C-alpha cells in the first residue's frame, strides 16, 4: 500500500507531470523517475517491504536495490574507510600524536565559515582532552582574506606555536607555509579544496582532492577529514602504547561534523550520510554547550534536523565571519561553560540580524540595478551588480538571491572608495561559472578570481566593469538562454492534502537526511483550491489549500510576494491550482502539523 493520497504516475521522465508545460515560474514539470526508475522503486518496495512513496524517493536518488539496507541504516563502521588510504594521513597522525606526547603548543588555523569553525573546534576539543594548549586563529575575511598568510604564521610562531594545523584551508598557501618552514615549525594541512599545481612545503597535506590521492573521498568536507585524521591519531597512540587514547569520546564530537557537512553543502552520500545521521543523534543530546546555546537563540523547534543546521544554526555562525569577529563561531563550539556560550550565541544572533538588515538594503539596490539593466527584454545572460559601500561579507548571499530572482548566473560586487571591487557569484545548474571567471582572469579583466561550477569569487576594478559585463555576455549568452528556456522541475509523485500526515513524514524521514546530492522530495498537489493567500514577514506568501475531499494543508512560498507566481496566488483566492513543493513538520506550541513549502504552482487547464 502506498501512502494515502499518493497516485502512481504512469508517464516517463520525458513527459510532463500534470501536463504542466509552463508553470507560473516558467518551468516544465517532469516526473523524476523514468520507466526504469519506476521498476527499481517497485523492486525496492517489494523486496524491502517499504512504502511505495519511500521506495520512489530512494529510487529517484540513485539508491540501488542492493544498497537500500545500508542506505537506510548507515553506520560509520561500514562506511568509514581506513584513514591511511588518504595521502599523507599516516604522517599527519604521527606528527599530531608526537605533539600530544611531547606536550607541544599547537596552533589551529581555520577558515571563517561554518566548516572552518567546526573543524577548528573539533581539533581544539580533541587536543584539550589531552591537556594540550592550543590557539585557534581565524583570519578576518575583509582584511586578511581566505587562508593562511605569512604575517599570521609569524604571529602564531612568535606566540610559541610548535606545530600549526590548518583546517579547511592551506592547500594553496605557498607563501605562508614557506614562512613557517623558514622558521622550522611544522605545518599539517587538513583540507578539501582544489589544489594548484605546486604542493606547499609542509609536514603533511591531507586532502582527498590532491591529484595523487586515490582515496575517492573527495566529497568530504574539512570537518569530515579532520574526524578521519583524529581516528588515525588515536590508532597511532594505541599502537605506541598510550592508554589515554581509550579515554577520548570521539563519537561524541560528531555533532560538529554533521553541522559542517550540512552547511558546506557537500553530497550526502557514503560516509557523509553516516556523519549526519549519527551526528544529529549526538547534537540532539545538546552536550555541546555552544551548539545548544545557538539552538536556543535561533528558536529551533522539534528534533534538530538538517534544515535547522543549514538555515538556522549555520547562518548565525557565519555572521561572525561575515560582519563581526570571525573567531566567535569557532570559540563558541569549543566552550564548556554554558553562561559564556549563551553570551556568544546572543552576540552571533545579533550579528545575524545586522547581516539580514544589511542584506535587505544591498539586495534592494542590487535588484534595482539588475531591473534597470533588464529593460523591456530578458536582460543580460549574467546579472552583474556593483555598489559602493556594500559589505564584502554579504555579497555571496546577495548573489544567491539575485540568481533565484532572475533565474540566471549573478554577481554582486562590493566597491570601495578607490574603485576596487570584491565580488561573489552564484550560478544555475548547467553553467560553469568558475571556468568563465578563470577565462576573465586570463583575458586581463579581473585582478584575480576563481571558483567552481556553481560559485565563484573575483576582484575587479570599477573601470573594467563595463568590459567585464560584455565579456560575460559573450561567454554565457547562448548557454544560459538555452538553460533558462528549458528549465524543469522534477517531481517525485502526486499527493493530496489529506495524505500529508505525520505518519508519512516519519516514513520519509527514514529515507533522509536530505541535502546536497540527496535532494528533498518534491510532490505535486493536483487541483487544490486556494482557500486563502496573504503576505507574511517581508515577502513570503502564506496559504491554506484544500483537496477535492476536503483535506486541508497550510502552505508557504518563501520570498515569493514580488514574483509572478506570488502575484498570481495572491490574486487567486478561491481558484484551483496545481502546487509543487516539499513537506515539513511545524511544531508550533507543541502541536505537530505538516505544511507545504511551495516551490512552484501552475494554473489548471
Residue 425 covered by a domain: yes
Burial of 24 (0-12, 13-18, 19+ CB in 10 A): buried
Measure the CA–CA gap between 74 and 63, rounded to whole angstroms: 13
Give the domain-ending residue among 284, 315, 349: 349
Q: Per-residue pLDDT tens for 568-583?
A: 999 999 999 999 999 9
Burial of 442 (0-12, 13-18, 19+ CB in 10 A): exposed
* Residue 339: CATH number of its domain: 3.90.1640.30
In the beta sheet, which residues pair with residue 491? 31
How is residue 377 written as a grid cell?
A: 527584454
Is the predicted pLDDT of residue 324 greater than 90, yes or no? no
Measure the CA–CA gap between 431 and 475, rounded to whole angstroms: 11
Measure the CA–CA gap between 64 and 58, rounded to whole angstroms: 8
DSSP assignment of 510-546 = TT---BTTBPPP-EEEEEEEEEEEEEETTTEEEEEEE
* Residue 562: CATH number of its domain: 2.40.50.460
Max CA pair span of the chain: 76
Higher-pLDDT residue of 538, 308: 308
Q: Per-residue pLDDT tens for 199-247?
A: 899 999 999 999 999 999 999 999 999 999 999 999 999 999 999 999 9
Give the domain-ending residue among 485, 502, 536: 485
Is the predicted pLDDT of residue 2 greater than 70, yes or no? no
Residue 589 covered by a domain: yes
How is residue 199 written as a grid cell?
A: 604542493
pLDDT at position 562 is 87
HEC string of 137-193?
Answer: ECCCCCCCCCCCCHHHHHHHHHCCCCEEEEECCCCCCHHHHHHHHHCCCEEEEECCC
Higher-pLDDT residue of 302, 159: 159
> Coil, strand, or helix at residue 330?
helix
Residue 188 covered by a domain: yes
Residue 354 covered by a domain: no
Write down how long the chain is: 605
DSSP assignment of 545-572 = EE-TTS-EEEEEETT-TTSHHHHHHHT-
Residue 8: its H or E element: none
- Total of domains in the chain: 3
Measure the CA–CA gap between 124 and 108, rounded to whole angstroms: 8
pLDDT band at 101 (very low <50, low <70, confident <90, very high): very high
HEC string of 13-68?
Answer: CCCECCCCCCCCCCCEEEECCCHHHHHHHHHHHHHHCCCHHHHHHHHHCCCCHHHH
pLDDT at position 12 is 44
User: Which residue is it, cell 516558467?
Assistant: 26
* Residue 413: CATH number of its domain: 3.10.310.30
Q: Note whether 278 and 255 are within 8 A (CB).
A: no
| Average pLDDT of the residues in 445-453 | 87
Q: How far from 14 is each of 31, 33, 580, CA to CA, in Å?
A: 7, 9, 18
Q: Per-residue pLDDT tens for 340-390?
A: 999 999 999 999 999 999 999 999 999 999 999 876 567 899 999 999 999
User: Which residue is it, cell 550526502?
Assistant: 268
Measure the CA–CA gap between 522 and 489, rounded to whole angstroms: 9
Q: How far from 379 is each of 253, 370, 477, 485, CA to CA, in Å?
A: 49, 8, 10, 14
Q: Per-residue pLDDT tens for 469-511?
A: 999 999 999 999 999 989 999 999 999 999 999 999 999 998 9
Range 157-187 burial, b when 16+ CB lie within 10 A, else e: beeebbbbbbbbbbbbbeebbbbbbeeebbb
Sign for the pseudo-dihedral over CA of 360, 363, 365, 368: negative
Are residues 162 and 265 located together in one domain of the fold?
yes
Measure the CA–CA gap between 586 and 590, rounded to whole angstroms: 9
Average pLDDT over the chain, rounded to an integer = 93
> Coil, strand, or helix at residue 257?
helix
Measure the CA–CA gap between 15 and 5, rounded to whole angstroms: 22
Structure letter (DSSP) for residue 309? I
Residue 558 covered by a domain: yes
Are residues 460 and 503 located together in one domain of the fold?
no
Are residues 285 and 188 located together in one domain of the fold?
yes
Are residues 454 and 598 located together in one domain of the fold?
no
Is the predicted pLDDT of residue 589 greater than 80, yes or no? no
pLDDT band at 194 (very low <50, low <70, confident <90, very high): confident
Is the predicted pLDDT of residue 168 greater than 90, yes or no? yes
pLDDT band at 14 (very low <50, low <70, confident <90, very high): low
Measure the CA–CA gap between 365 and 385, rounded to whole angstroms: 9
Residue 384 covered by a domain: yes
Neighbours of 13 (CB within 10 A): 18
Q: Per-residue pLDDT tens for 58-98?
A: 999 999 999 998 899 999 999 999 999 999 999 999 999 99
The answer, as to whether pTM is greater than 0.75, is: yes
Neighbours of 216 (CB within 10 A): 10
pLDDT at position 321 is 86
Are residues 56 and 138 located together in one domain of the fold?
no
Are residues 538 and 442 located together in one domain of the fold?
no
User: Which residue is it, cell 588515536?
Assistant: 234
Are residues 385 and 259 located together in one domain of the fold?
no
Is the predicted pLDDT of residue 526 greater than 70, yes or no? yes
Name the residue range of residue 448's domain.
375-485
In the beta sheet, which residues pair with residue 546? 529, 552
> Coil, strand, or helix at residue 225?
helix
Nearest to 390 by CA among 453, 322, 337, 333: 322
Measure the CA–CA gap between 508 and 498, rounded to whole angstroms: 16
User: Which residue is it, cell 571556468?
Assistant: 435
Is the predicted pLDDT of residue 3 greater than 60, yes or no? no
Is the predicted pLDDT of residue 328 greater than 90, yes or no? yes
Q: Does the bond joining 513 to the residue before it have cis omega, within 30 degrees of 0?
A: yes
Residue 129 covered by a domain: yes
> Coil, strand, or helix at residue 88?
coil
pLDDT at position 591 is 84
Q: How far from 403 is each of 213, 426, 564, CA to CA, in Å?
A: 35, 6, 16
> Coil, strand, or helix at residue 463?
helix
Is the predicted pLDDT of residue 10 greater than 90, yes or no? no
pLDDT at position 302 is 82
Measure the CA–CA gap between 412 and 159, rounded to whole angstroms: 38
Residue 598 covered by a domain: yes
Nearest to 226 by CA among 309, 168, 148: 168
pLDDT at position 9 is 41
pLDDT band at 133 (very low <50, low <70, confident <90, very high): confident
pLDDT band at 138 (very low <50, low <70, confident <90, very high): very high
Are residues 37 and 112 located together in one domain of the fold?
no
Are residues 229 and 139 located together in one domain of the fold?
yes
Are residues 325 and 277 located together in one domain of the fold?
yes
In the beta sheet, which residues pair with residue 555? 543, 596
Give the domain-ending residue among 485, 518, 549: 485
Are residues 62 and 87 located together in one domain of the fold?
no
Are residues 265 and 291 located together in one domain of the fold?
yes
Amino acid at each position: 500500500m502506498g501512502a494515502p493520497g499518493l497516485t502512481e504516475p504512469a508517464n516517463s521522465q520525458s513527459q510532463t507531470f500534470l501536463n504542466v508545460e509552463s508553470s507560473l515560474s516558467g518551468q516544465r514539470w517532469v516526473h523524476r523517475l523514468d520507466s526504469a526508475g519506476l521498476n527499481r522503486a517497485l523492486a525496492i518496495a517489494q523486496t524491502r517491504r517499504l512504502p511505495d512513496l519511500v521506495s520512489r524517493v530512494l529510487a529517484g536518488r540513485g539508491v540501488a536495490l542492493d544498497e537500500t539496507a545500508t542506505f537506510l541504516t548507515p553506520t560509520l563502521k561500514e562506511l568509514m574507510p581506513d584513514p591511511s588510504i588518504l595521502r599523507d594521513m599516516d604522517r599527519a597522525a604521527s606528527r599530531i600524536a608526537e605533539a600530544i606526547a611531547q606536550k607541544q603548543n599547537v596552533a589551529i588555523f581555520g577558515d571563517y565559515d561554518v566548516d572552518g569553525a567546526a573543524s577548528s573546534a573539533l581539533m581544539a576539543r580533541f587536543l584539550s582532552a589531552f591537556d594540550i594548549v592550543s590557539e585557534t586563529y581565524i583570519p578576518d575575511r575583509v582584511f586578511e582574506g581566505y587562508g593562511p598568510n605569512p604575517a599570521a604564521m609569524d604571529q602564531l610562531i612568535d606566540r610559541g606555536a610548535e606545530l600549526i594545523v590548518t583546517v579547511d584551508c592551506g592547500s594553496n598557501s605557498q607563501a605562508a607555509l614557506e614562512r613557517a618552514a623558514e622558521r622550522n615549525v611544522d605545518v599539517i594541512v587538513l583540507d578539501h579544496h582544489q589544489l594548484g599545481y605546486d604542493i606547499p612545503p609542509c609536514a603533511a597535506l591531507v586532502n582527498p582532492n590532491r591529484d595523487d590521492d586515490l582515496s575517492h573521498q573527495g566529497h568530504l568536507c574539512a570537518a569530515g577529514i579532520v574526524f578521519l585524521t583524529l581516528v588515525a591519531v588515536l590508532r597511532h597512540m594505541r599502537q605506541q602504547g598510550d592508554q589515554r587514547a581509550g579515554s577520548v569520546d570521539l563519537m561524541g564530537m560528531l555533532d560538529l561534523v554533521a553541522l559542517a557537512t550540512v552547511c558546506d553543502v557537500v553530497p550526502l552520500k557514503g560516509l557523509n550520510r553516516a556523519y549526519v545521521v549519527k551526528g544529529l543523534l549526538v547534537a540532539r543530546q545538546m552536550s555541546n554547550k555552544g551548539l545548544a546555546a545557538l539552538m536556543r537563540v535561533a528558536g529551533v523547534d522539534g528534533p534538530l534536523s538538517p534544515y535547522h543546521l543549514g538555515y538556522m544554526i549555520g547562518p548565525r555562525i557565519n555572521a561572525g565571519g561575515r560582519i563581526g569577529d570571525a573567531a566567535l563561531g569557532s570559540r563558541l563550539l569549543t566552550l564548556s561553560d554554558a553562561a559564556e556560550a549563551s553570551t556568544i550565541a546572543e552576540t552571533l544572533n545579533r550579528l545575524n540580524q545586522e547581516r539580514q538588515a544589511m542584506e535587505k538594503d544591498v539586495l534592494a539596490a542590487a535588484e534595482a540595478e539588475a531591473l534597470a539593466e533588464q529593460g523591456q527584454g530578458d536582460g543580460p545572460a549574467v546579472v552583474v551588480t556593483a555598489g559602493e559601500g556594500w559589505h564584502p561579507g554579504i555579497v555571496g548571499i546577495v548573489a544567491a538571491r539575485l540568481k533565484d530572482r532572475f533565474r540566471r548566473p549573478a554577481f554582486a560586487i562590493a566597491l570601495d572608495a578607490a574603485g576596487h571591487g570584491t565580488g561573489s557569484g552564484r550560478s544555475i545548474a548547467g553553467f560553469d561559472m568558475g571556468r568563465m571567471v578563470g577565462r576573465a582572469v586570463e583575458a586581463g579583466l579581473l585582478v584575480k578570481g576563481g571558483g567552481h561550477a556553481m560559485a565563484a569569487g573575483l576582484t575587479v576594478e570599477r573601470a573594467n566593469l563595463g568590459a567585464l559585463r560584455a565579456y560575460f555576455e559573450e561567454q554565457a549568452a547562448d548557454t544560459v538562454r538555452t538553460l533558462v528556456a528549458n528549465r524543469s522541475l522534477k517531481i517525485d509523485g502526486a499527493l493530496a492534502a489529506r495524505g500529508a500526515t505525520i505518519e508519512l513524514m516519519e516514513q520519509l524521514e527514514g529515507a533522509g537526511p536530505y541535502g546536497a546530492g540527496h535532494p528533498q522530495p518534491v510532490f505535486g498537489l493536483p487541483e487544490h483550491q486556494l482557500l486563502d493567500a496573504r503576505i507574511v514577514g517581508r515577502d513570503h506568501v502564506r496559504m491554506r489549500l484544500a483537496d477535492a475531499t476536503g483535506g486541508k494543508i497550510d502552505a508557504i512560498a518563501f520570498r515569493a510576494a514580488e514574483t509572478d507566481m506570488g502575484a498570481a496566488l495572491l490574486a487567486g483566492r478561491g481558484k484551483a491550482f496545481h502546487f509543487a513543493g516539499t513537506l515539513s513538520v511545524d511544531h508550533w506550541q507543541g502541536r505537530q502539523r505538516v505544511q507545504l513549502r511551495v516551490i512552484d504552482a501552475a494554473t489548471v487547464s
